């Protein structure tokens, strides 16, 4: 589940400046190293993200999320965004976290959504690096 929601995304939920449709827009997940320090205030667009992972089997900019869903949970009074497991096969990478963003194809216009901190470095060495999102979804707003 999201460890930090970027303030610029929170604003986009409330105004007409740039809408992000989590269901139909291209939402990507990029991996970052432990050297990345997320800033809810200052990291508006993907070009603000530093220390993206570099390694075998990983493409800069990350992977596109598949099987995205947005649901209304009336029992728990929340909205939930989720997606399928993301994998980088035959990879040799080390990541501490992941950044979700709407990809426009240009980093300076691709708005950041949230940051997920893995808690510790996760490594793959010629195998599969996988992100399995929380059973409560990637992003929950209550």
User: Domain span at residue 54?
Assistant: 4-141
Q: How many domains does the chain have?
A: 1
* Residue 32 in this model has a pLDDT that exceeds 80: yes
Single out the residue of 16, 139, 1, 142 nearest to residue 69, CA to CA. Answer: 139
Mean of pLDDT over the chain:
95
Q: Copy the structure tokens of residue 134.
A: 């929380």
Residue 37: DSSP 8-state: -
Cα angle: 76, vertex 64, 5; to 5 degrees: 45
- Judged against a pLDDT cut of 90, whether residue 2 lies above it is answered with no
The stretch 123-142 carries a mean pLDDT of 94
The tens digit of pLDDT for each residue in 47-78 reads: 999 999 999 999 999 999 999 999 999 999 99
Residue 115 tokens read as: 């940051």
């Amino acid at each position: 589940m999201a460890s930090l929601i970027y303030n610029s995304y929170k604003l986009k939920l409330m105004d007409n400046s740039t809408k992000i449709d989590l269901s139909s827009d291209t939402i990507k997940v990029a991996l970052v190293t432990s050297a990345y320090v997320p800033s809810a205030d200052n990291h508006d667009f993907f070009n603000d993200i530093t220390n993206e992972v570099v390694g075998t089997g990983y493409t800069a900019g990350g992977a596109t999320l598949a099987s995205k869903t947005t649901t209304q949970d009336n029992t728990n009074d929340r909205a939930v965004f989720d997606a399928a497991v993301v994998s980088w096969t035959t990879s040799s990478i080390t990541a501490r976290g992941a950044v979700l963003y709407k990809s426009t194809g240009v980093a300076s216009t691709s708005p950041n959504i949230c940051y997920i901190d893995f808690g510790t470095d996760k490594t793959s060495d010629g195998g599969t690096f996988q992100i399995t999102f929380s059973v409560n979804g990637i992003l929950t707003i209550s």
